Structure 1
């Protein structure tokens, strides 16, 4: 019996690779002729770089960049010399988890560091870029990224705008004359884990701004500022992308990636599975075990367990989800190829205990699932 193990990370508890290892440990307790194959995955959020490096064997590199508040930091990225492919995870440079709750400011955070990582990739000779957008602390529509790549965002007096999403309300001119010319030959694929447009009730500011420190007044201000950015962009490029599904990802980085980098936006889980050769791994699998911190109704928008289930359903392979929490609406995943889902807790416990025991609980639940499968086959 072959079991394919492909979880995402369990936020604040385990990265995807460690989660896969914990599940495999639980399965190995049973012995016998059970084979487990570990294939950690991600949907474009935090941990995507680790999953891509594990899947491709690419080299991990480190660069000095600026974080979402403009402070110097170090961020990892991936490089595969044979294919001239670079892997950049937005959250490495401009991630929300790197900021303390009191530091989170959607009004002024910047994607400058993401542009600096892309510049590192160009300096290495990249011809292809895989850019993942989840886990951002930003709402600047990718303006900081453009600045790092040579563009200038100017107000009505011709002065450079301050960094951050709020400043885009004063945008009068996009000067793209200094934009790095090497971008013209760079093929960009962008992994998104949401399908939101740039603006409005489902837009970047309204849906994701509050978790980045935006008050209701800030949300209205940021949405208007991104609207101004979209207007000036459309006038400069002669193209309209504000309604594009995924344009609102990472505070509007999906919009900037498509408009200025010519990127193809793809569900992150599909992109990562393709890099991992997931379809081939499914061929002789008897069961797939996947999981993440929470399974809920929003998981259908592109989260790892549902992406895995859809791929496995096409080949008739059952899928079990192990989740830290089964939240309202999780049952919708059953219509997408999930065979069964289980929460990890083995009794009443607080969040701190659940996070501390995550590996142990994953191993225990995996063992129980495989015991049941083995009994049914017997």
Structure 2
């Protein structure tokens, strides 16, 4: 008897995208059960792979090319994604991924004080000019710690010093800012910002302290950037710097809050927008996964959310690595690519082959 299978993994970061991972698992399942109906709904948490997850999961999604100024002032050719109209977004929804416009992978060398989010704002502006009803911004892989001010400036805001001159782009320049004005109006359907972190803007858990060193910031840089962000917060009093997620993407979460956006857990919002909860509940089996499943994976990561959303539907987990202390009790079956391949190196060298094997084994066990 034919069954309906939903394949909804996150990306296996650094080795294979969520879309390619889903396709590999599906191919392995089909090898064992060719008559089953398989639906690919690759997931993301707002960071890397968000655009591709929507492009694969939403019929009629359209890639719209855009050229922006990257985090180091070089031009970047990228795209935003336009989703078809829905009742709550009659003119469509734009998906914009920070990593694709202002991400750390776009840098030739780290710029902890000067990198910026201007390109993200340009992509959002292009989507608004195209007339979309709603904008969804995926936060992750940020190169900068500018509080989202580069983004706001590309949207028309003015960040000026006490002499009325524009301050330099980047986090360091914020210490000289005397005003932030002319924030643009939101689109009719609003702006949703997706993140998988809950860090506030400031302090020891804030954007500069936690994420700055990853972007090349020295201890002195971290202190300077945290001070600059604290100063920015005084200029944008309508946004609360203690809001969970305000520190996401170098404080871009805070900048989006100041604009009027809603911050949301990325995996929950992505799942809702691609229709995962309804598809999972109606399926016979759901397969999810991520690169490393460990003791923290139950706290807001994609596999834990998928297992919860599926309700009574059996959910299988495949991960590049499953830690010894990980709780896999929510899953009907689980497989590690490291175990299948024999070593982490072998699994990472050819993840598609081992994902295929995992799909085939799940079909034999759960089909």
TM-score in same-fold range (> 0.5): yes
Distance 2:189 2:33 in 1: 48
Equivalent residue of 2:358, what SS? helix
Partner of 2:326: 330
Cα 1:79–1:37 shift into 2, 3 Å: closer
* Alpha-carbon shift at residue 301 of structure 1 (Å): 4.1
- Structure 1 residue 152: Cα displacement: 1.5
Partners of 2:341 and 2:354 within 8 A in 1: no
Report how far residue 13 of structure 1 moved. 2.0
Q: RMSD in angstroms over aligned alpha carbons? A: 2.1
1:99-156 Cα distance to aligned partner (Å, 9 max, x none): 34xx122221110001001110111112211111122222111010011111121223
SS of structure 2 residue aligned to 1:93:
helix
Tell me which residue corresponds to 2:305.
Answer: 307
Is the helix fraction higher in 1 or 2?
1
Taking the aligned partners of 1:329 and 1:250, their CA distance within structure 2 comes to 29
Conservation of the 8 A alpha-carbon contact between 1:193 and 1:301:
no
Structure 1 distance, partners of 2:165, 2:326, is 49
Q: Check the 8 A contact 1:191/1:268 in 2, yes or no.
A: yes
- Flag as ranges the 4+ runs of structure 1 deviating above 6 A: none
Change (3 A) 1:283 1:306: closer
Q: Assess if the C-alpha contact under 8 Å between 2:199 and 2:247 holds in 1.
A: yes
Among 172, 185, 190, which residue is 2:193 paired with?
190
Gaps of 5+ in 1: none
How far is 1:357 from its partner? 0.6
Alignment partner for residue 227 of structure 2, among 193, 210, 224?
Answer: 224
Does structure 2 retain, via aligned residues, the 8 Å contact 1:77–1:88? yes
Aligned pair 1:165/2:171, yes or no? yes
Find 1:37's aligned residue among 33, 36, 39. Answer: 39
Shift of 1:97: 2.3
Gaps of 5+ in 2: none
**What corresponds to 2:350 in structure 1?**
357
SS at match of 2:297: helix
Question: How big is each residue's C-alpha offset from its partner over 1:235-286, in whole Å with a ceiling of 9 and x where there is no partner?
Answer: xxxx2411111111111111111111x1111111111111211122123323
Question: What is aligned with 2:20?
Answer: 18
Aligned equivalent of 1:151: 157
Listed one character per residue, the Cα deviations across residues 76-105 of structure 1 (whole Å, up to 9, x for unaligned) are 1012363322111111101122334xx122
Give, in whole Å, the separation in 1 of the partners of 2:301 and 2:231: 31
Q: Tell me if 1:28 matches 2:34.
A: no
In the other structure, the counterpart of 2:74 is: 71
Q: Is the 8 A contact 2:115 2:145 kept in 1?
A: yes
Alpha-carbon distance in structure 2 between the residues aligned to 1:77 and 1:70: 19
How many residue pairs are counted as aligned between the two chains? 358
TM-score after normalising by structure 2 = 0.90
**Which range moved further: 71-80 or 206-215?**
206-215
> What is the distance in 1 between the residues matched to 2:332 and 2:193?
30
CA–CA separation in structure 1 for the residues paired with 2:232 and 2:134: 27
Q: CA deviation at 1:320?
A: 2.1
Partner-residue secondary structure (3-state), 1:299: coil
Query: For the residues of structure 1 that align with 2:198 and 2:324, how far apart are their CA atoms?
Result: 20
Shift of 1:365: 2.0
Contact 2:10 2:44 in 1 (8 A): yes
The 1:95/1:26 distance shift into structure 2, 3 A limit, reads same
Question: Of 209, 212, 232, which residue of structure 2 is paired with 1:209?
Answer: 212
- TM-aligned CA deviation for residue 35 of structure 1: 3.6
Offset, 1:304:
1.4
Deviation at 1:32, TM superposition (A): 6.1
- The answer as to whether partners of 2:8 and 2:287 remain within 8 angstroms in 1 is yes
Q: How does 1:1-378 map to 2 (within 5 A)?
A: 1-31=3-33, 34-56=36-58, 57-80=60-83, 82=85, 83-84=90-91, 85-100=93-108, 103-176=109-182, 179-181=183-185, 183=186, 185=188, 187-234=190-237, 239-260=238-259, 262-312=260-310, 315-327=311-323, 330-331=326-327, 334=329, 337-345=330-338, 346-349=340-343, 351=345, 353-374=346-367
**Contact 2:133/2:187 (8 A) holds in 1:** no
Say if 1:184 and 1:200 are closer, same or farther in 2 by CA, change over 3 A.
same
- The answer to whether the 8 Å contact 2:7/2:286 transfers is yes
- Secondary structure at the counterpart of residue 309 of structure 1: helix
Q: Distance in 2 between matches of 1:373 and 1:186?
A: 41
TM-superposed CA distance for 1:339, in Å, is: 4.3
Whether the 8 Å CA contact 1:194–1:301 is kept in 2: the answer is no
Give distance in 2, aligned partners of 1:185 and 1:34: 41
